[in-house]
Amino acid sequence: MACASLSKLNAASSQWIGQQSFTQRKGSSTRRVSVPIRSKAYTEELVQTAKSIASPGRGILAIDESNATCGKRLASIGLDNTEVNRQAYRQLLLTTPGLGESISGAILFEETLYQSTTDGKKFVDCLRDEKIVPGIKVDKGLVPLPGSNNESWCQGLDGLASRSAEYYKQGARFAKWRTVVSIPCGPSALAVKEAAWGLARYAAISQDNGLVPIVEPEILLDGDHPIDRTLEVAEKVWSEVFFYLAENNVLFEGILLKPSMVTPGAEHKEKASPETIAKYTLTMLKRRVPPAVPGIMFLSGGQSELEATLNLNAMNQSRNPWHVSFSYARALQNSVLKTWQGRPENIEAAQKALLARAKANSLAQLGKYSGEGESEEAKKGMFVKGYTY
């Protein structure tokens, strides 16, 4: 019964619109083979969008924090969590002159996608003027997963197709869905399968509506485990993810990945060097990710601004079959917020801080970052146990 229901869901929601049968002969036996016929509506656009985001020396600025999380950021500099203050901060980020030199895409929260500057210019148009692709967070957040080891699952598939169609009309061209896997909690087979299946369904629905899906099963830094354990879990998770992406007929050339770097747990007694993190992370990727995927845009996951940049640079010291880049939130915004402090007279200085961090990661994407001249603030870790947003 469960299999029948799953088949109906797959058929109803998939981006594939039919099947064509042909006869395949092998020796004296004959069998029928069904081949999916793919809808061509967005194929070329999806591939082009993914390539545009995965362009040399550029990465993604993630400012898709929920209103509650954005409020926490504002509170850190003494501002109230109001729409006016959220708009002011995001306007500072999205109107930074020259941002498009290092940033190719920006992930927005739904509120921001529909907002304009105080002068009435749509934020999506501000991005387009800098040749930055607008993106949108489409998941509805994490909730407890019944039957698991205190783990969670990501909700948001209900109504996703209609929401995605509206986001496309508003100017979004890629989407983001974050689910998480916790190593201290196991992770259980149930949690891994739920994460992989949810990501695959989201990816298929997104492509069906013209949005390039960012596939993000974040393996949380929480724990005191060694780096080898992280590698083991990451390989299992990504194996499952790509199995279900294939099962859902997702176009690999039209997706982007947002993995965690393979690091020891945040509470492990020994820290790993950028070279070690690069070695383990690239080992995992080469074992699990097809070269058809155009871009791998790493999350920072609570690393300091400096750590995130150094680790990315180390991964780009050799050629990779994919564009290996960044999709950072706190690792691009921390210095910006502390420079701005909510004061209009600090906007220009805050925008320069954003450009400096974006440029540093641009150089890291090219494997040319030296780390010279970094501030003490950039070296401060931002790990938060059990972080949610």
Q: Fill in the amino acid letter for 213.
A: P
CA–CA distance, 308 with 164 (Å, rounded to integer):
31
The mean per-residue pLDDT over the stretch 345-359 comes to 97
Angle of helix 83-94 relative to helix 330-340, nearest 10 degrees? 110
Look at residue 221 in the predicted model and tell me its pLDDT. 86
**Residue 149 and residue 185 in contact, taking contact as beta carbons nearer than 8 Å:** yes
pLDDT for 283-315, tens place per residue? 999 999 999 999 999 998 778 899 999 999 999
Long-range contacts of 13-17 (CB under 8 A, 24+ apart): 13/161, 13/201, 13/204, 13/205, 13/208, 14/204, 14/208, 14/248, 14/249, 15/39, 15/204, 15/205, 15/207, 15/208, 15/249, 15/250, 15/251, 16/249
Q: Fill in the amino acid letter for 10.
A: N
CA–CA distance, 91 with 131 (Å, rounded to integer):
17
Look at residue 15 in the predicted model and tell me its pLDDT. 38
pLDDT for 214-254, tens place per residue? 999 999 988 899 999 999 999 999 999 999 999 999 999 99
Torsion sign (Cα): 56, 338, 348, 116: positive
By annotation, the residues acting in catalysis are 216, 258
pLDDT for 22-56, tens place per residue? 455 555 555 665 555 455 689 999 999 999 999 99
Q: How many residues does the chain have?
A: 389
The answer, as to whether pTM is greater than 0.85, is yes
Domain topology for 42-368: TIM Barrel (3.20.20)
Report residue 178 CA to chain centroid gap: 7
pLDDT for 196-211, tens place per residue? 999 999 999 999 999 9
**Other C-beta atoms lying within 10 Å of the C-beta of residue 161:** 16
The residue with tokens 């690239």 is: 282
CA–CA distance, 16 with 28 (Å, rounded to integer):
32
Residue 145: strand pairing partners:
none
Q: State in Å, rounded, how far the first CA of the chain is from the last one.
A: 36
Residues 6+ apart with CB under 8 A from 327: 59, 60, 62, 105, 107, 214, 258, 297, 298, 299
CA–CA distance, 162 with 159 (Å, rounded to integer):
6
